[in-house]
Amino acid sequence: MNIPIITEPGSSKKNKTGKWRTMKPVANAEKCTGCGICTGFCPDSSIEIKNKKISIDYDYCKGCGICALECPAKAIFMKEEEK
């Protein structure tokens, strides 16, 4: 019987939505204070704080720009994605 259920968890990871980006967030490590506000705001769970600094997972970042808008240190700027 065919039932629409996915029985293996985590299959959504196979789709690297980073390919959808047109703008890319770039962080300035010196300005970054490691406050973690960007981590909380990222709607795609694509930012971590590693070694007290921002670390962006470009496989899943869709380039929405919310992190750049919310960063209190203005450490992130949006750059046009290369083709």
Which tokens belong to 61? 């970042």
Q: C-beta of 10: minimal distance to other proteins in Å?
A: 8
Q: C-beta of 64: minimal distance to other proteins in Å?
A: 21
Q: C-beta of 9: minimal distance to other proteins in Å?
A: 4
Sign for the pseudo-dihedral over CA of 28, 29, 30, 35: positive
* Rounded CA separation 14/17 (Å): 9
Residue 7 or 22: the one with the smaller Cβ distance to other proteins is 7
The residues binding other proteins (CB under 8 A) are 1-7, 9-11
Which tokens belong to 21? 């980006």
